[in-house]
Amino acid sequence: MRVAVRQCPIDRRPLPQRAATAAARPLKRYLSEQAARPRGIGGRLIGRLWITETATVNDAAIALLAPTHGEHILEIGFGPGRALGMISSRGATATGIDVSEAMVTLAGQRNRDQIRTGALRLCVSDGATIPLPNDSVDAVMSVHNVYFWAEPRTTIDEIARVLRPGGRVLLVFRGREHPLPGRLDPTIYRSVTTNDVETWLLDAGFTDIETKSTPSAPTEISFVIANLQP
Ligand SMILES: C[S@@+](CC[C@H](N)C(=O)[O-])C[C@H]1O[C@@H](n2cnc3c(N)ncnc32)[C@H](O)[C@@H]1O
């Protein structure tokens, strides 16, 4: 009988370094879980940090999406809601959905006035089940989200369902053709490449699919924009 012997890599680093790596693992998992669905005090704190941390990428996203007065814009996974505030300040009506109750509360506090006037509506929901009627949205935006979607094809089909014919979608993310930063847990940040996203959009009936980068955002960030077939 032949026995297959597989060699396991041996970590030969000094003990303190190995101990530091082991200790960082739970923290990495905690932070990645919070990014996927912020909760509790830690989640609220992280949400507040995103207001500045993701500002450059969100500003570039809004410039590309170019929401205009009277349009209805949906944002999936809005986090602290900074982008939604900017969208409604341009005279568009906005709907935001996010799986995190903590983010709905945080974004609601931040955009109290727009919610009061009806310019903005927020709800706890997954992108795979968007609580909006067919053909009711002019554009959909989602930043740093696709990695967390358990059913990315279903979510993109949902985006196509709620968009009016000719409507546009913008998905912004760090594609896995670039290495995942060491601080992020790969079991939570699923491996999604720019090519995967382009394929899913094509299969869902989108056209004019273009991947852009912008000078203000890091080059590893993909801005994939597309139109639903008219
Ligand atoms: C990394 S944060 C990004 C937040 C914000 N877009 C930004 O750029 O600052 C990801 C957000 O997406 C939300 N999220 C994750 N999976 C989601 C899903 N399937 N549907 C809707 N929201 C989701 C999380 O709760 C979290 O608020």
| pLDDT single digits (tens) 88-129 | 999 999 999 999 999 999 999 999 999 999 999 999 999 999
Q: Quick check: 134 pLDDT over 80? A: yes
Distance 179 CA to ligand 1 centre (A): 21
Convert the pLDDT of each residue in 18-28 to its tens digit. 655 555 568 89
Rounded CA separation 74/120 (Å): 10
Best CA proximity match to 77, nearest among 55, 64, 95? 95
Confidence band, pLDDT 50/70/90 cuts, at residue 5: very low
pLDDT recorded at residue 26: 86
Looking at the predicted structure, is the pLDDT value of residue 11 above 80?
A: no
Question: Which amino acids bring their CB within 6 angstroms of ligand 1?
Answer: 35-38, 50, 54, 58, 76-79, 97-100, 103, 126-127, 143-145, 148-149
Q: List the one residue out of 34, 55, 104 whose CA is nearest residue 76.
A: 104
- pLDDT at position 196, please? 98
The verdict on domain 15-228 having CATH code 3.40.50.150 is: yes
d(CA 156, ligand 1 centre) in Å? 15
Pick 77 or 10 by higher pLDDT. 77
pLDDT value of residue 1: 46
Q: What is the mean pLDDT of residues 50-68?
A: 97
Return the SS3 of 109. Answer: helix
- Residue 96: in which H helix or E strand, if any? strand 93-98
- % of the chain with per-residue pLDDT over 70: 89
> In this structure, what token pair is assigned to residue 148?
């967390």
120 φ, ψ to 5°?
A: -140, 135
User: Best mutation site among 98, 146, 159 for ligand 1, i.e. most ligand atoms within 8 A of its Cβ?
Assistant: 98
Interval 153-173 mean pLDDT: 98
The pLDDT confidence band at residue 15, using thresholds 50, 70 and 90, is low
The pLDDT of 134-142, averaged and rounded, is: 98
For strands 93-98 and 72-76, give the pairing.
Answer: parallel
Q: In a 3-state reduction of DSSP, which class is residue 90?
A: coil
Confidence (pLDDT) at 3: 47
Average pLDDT along the chain: 92
